[in-house]
Amino acid sequence: MTNATNRRGFLNAVGVAAAFPTIVPARALGREGGAAPSERIGLGVIGYGPRCTYDLGPMLAQPDVRCVAVCDVQASRRDAAKDRVDKHNGDTSCAAIRDFRELLDREDVDAVLIATGDHWHAHATILAARAGKDVYSEKPCGLTLDLCRQVADVINETGRVFQAGTQRRSVPNFRYAVDLARSGKLGKLKTLYASVYYPSIVSQWYPTQPTPAKDVVEWDLWLGPSPWRPYNEAYVKGGWRAHYDFESGARLLDWGAHTVDLCQWANDADATGPVSFEPSETNIKATYANGVELIIDFLKEPFGDRGPNWITALGTCPVRFVGEDGWVETGDNGGVEVQPDGLKASLKDLPSGAHDSGLDVGAHARNWLDCIKTREKPAANAEVMRNSHSACHAAAASWILGRKLDFDPATGTITNDEEADGLRTRPFREQWKV
């Protein structure tokens, strides 16, 4: 890919709204005659942690992908990423980079996998899109409601191909359950159930430790847009989770980015969202304009007692769609349960539970890569992400403040509560304003 911005120009662009996409070669994107299967997409990786190890393997396995550069602010993770990619490529040519802006300057990077901590997802996506890169971003795709909407706006403005890492949109059992809900065989939909971890916000910070040298951990860049605070190695080793500055929506988006998203899809609501949110001790009840209720159910333990709404044997991240004539539930073990028995007996090819999670991630990545070539919108495109993530953020605001909120999904605003509407955004450090 040709990147028209140089290093200085890119840095000058940080913090301004106007930017321009660069031109991606037709041979890489399938335009003007189409790309042969052997044509490869140059992949860059931003952030190499546990989630990235899950995503990257299936991407490297694609025959039309070559990872050319990896980036992380931690030297140990940088080295591990390069070692993995070099072993896969059979050479030592993969670049290991500390500052992701240098990766975005590379002409051989056509697309990026963003798998940093939550607080970097939206900013890295916006800067990558403005640098002319297509983006696969891990979820949650934005730390705030406004950032999720801004990501979608920038993707549309730049014409990039964006895929959110909500891979259950590409997993057969979840697709089966959604298709069943949308088919009318359950009758008119009444209630949707989305499971989430019990929300939480950590109020205490780790004690100050000496800041390492930049070539070990570049702490200021790790913090990025978040407010500055003293270094502690626990943050960079995963201890950032549940800290308000670093994680989205009181942890509600950890699962909600998947499960609320699937409920949106089942309700044919990808272009909209609920119009009200009301919290309780055990759930948040959201209501759509069409009268369908969405129950965002708090699970204190992923495999523990889930109460009357769930079948424990179906695994993590379960969803249930209830209609006037029946219901369907599915979860991460790949199985699907349907009631009543008469409806269940009438269905063909009901998923049994046997599945390969690596193939599931690979299918989602494959969908993104195919769309890079055709320039079509992937399954979890920016508009889908904007509305499902916005619903999660509005739900989190209702839980944080402990009161019912009215929401306008068209504008992404909370209409009955000025304090709650203020939670749509956060202050970011000046040098990282996008």
CA distances, 255 to each of 197, 247, 260 (Å): 7, 13, 8
Residues 6+ apart with CB under 8 A from 311: 318, 329, 331, 337
**What's the pTM value of the predicted model, to 2 decimals?**
0.90
The backbone region for 334, taken as left when phi is positive above 0, alpha when psi lies in -120 to 50, beta otherwise, is left
Residue whose tokens read 């502690």: 232
Ranges of H-type helices in 115-168: 118-130, 145-158
pLDDT of residue 307: 80
Distance CA 298, CA 304 (A): 12
Closest alpha carbon to 332 in 300, 299, 356: 356
Closest alpha carbon to 278 in 410, 416, 424, 406: 406
Q: Are 391 and 282 in contact (CB under 8 A)?
A: no
Q: Are 218 and 98 in contact (CB under 8 A)?
A: yes
Condensed to tens digits (0 to 9), the pLDDT of residues 75-131 reads: 999 999 999 999 999 999 999 999 999 999 999 999 999 999 999 999 999 999 999
pLDDT of residue 303: 66
- The domain segmentation of the chain, as residue ranges, is 7-167+365-382, 169-200+249-353+386-424
Give the DSSP H/E element, type plus range, for residue 341: helix 341-346
pLDDT category at 394 given cuts 50, 70, 90 is: very high
Q: For 302-307, what is the mean pLDDT?
A: 72
Distance CA 45, CA 58 (A): 13
Give the DSSP H/E element, type plus range, for residue 173: helix 172-183
CATH fold of 7-167+365-382: Rossmann fold (3.40.50)
Condensed to tens digits (0 to 9), the pLDDT of residues 270-279 reads: 999 999 999 9
Distance CA 389, CA 370 (A): 24
Q: For 337-352, what is the mean pLDDT?
A: 95
Residues 6+ apart with CB under 8 A from 288: 267, 269, 272, 273, 274, 275, 294
Q: Are 134 and 108 in contact (CB under 8 A)?
A: no
Mean pLDDT of all residues in the chain?
90
Domain 169-200+249-353+386-424 superfamily per CATH: Dihydrodipicolinate Reductase; domain 2 (3.30.360.10)
Measure the N-to-C terminal CA separation of the chain; round to a whole number of Å.
23
What dihedral angle (degrees, nearest 10) is formed by the CA atoms of 95, 101, 104, 108? -30
pLDDT of residue 245: 94
- DSSP single-letter state for residue 143: S
Q: For 189-208, what is the mean pLDDT?
A: 94
Whole-number percent of the chain with pLDDT over 70: 89
Task: Please give the radius of gyration of the chain, using alpha carbons only, rounded to the nearest integer.
Answer: 21
Distance CA 418, CA 261 (A): 26
Peptide bond into 340 cis (omega under 30): yes
Residues 6+ apart with CB under 8 A from 310: 193, 195, 297, 299, 318, 320, 329
Q: Are 37 and 55 in contact (CB under 8 A)?
A: no
Condensed to tens digits (0 to 9), the pLDDT of residues 233-261 reads: 999 999 999 899 999 999 999 999 999 99
Condensed to tens digits (0 to 9), the pLDDT of residues 137-157 reads: 999 999 999 999 999 999 999
Whole-number percent of the chain with pLDDT over 90: 83
pLDDT of residue 219: 98
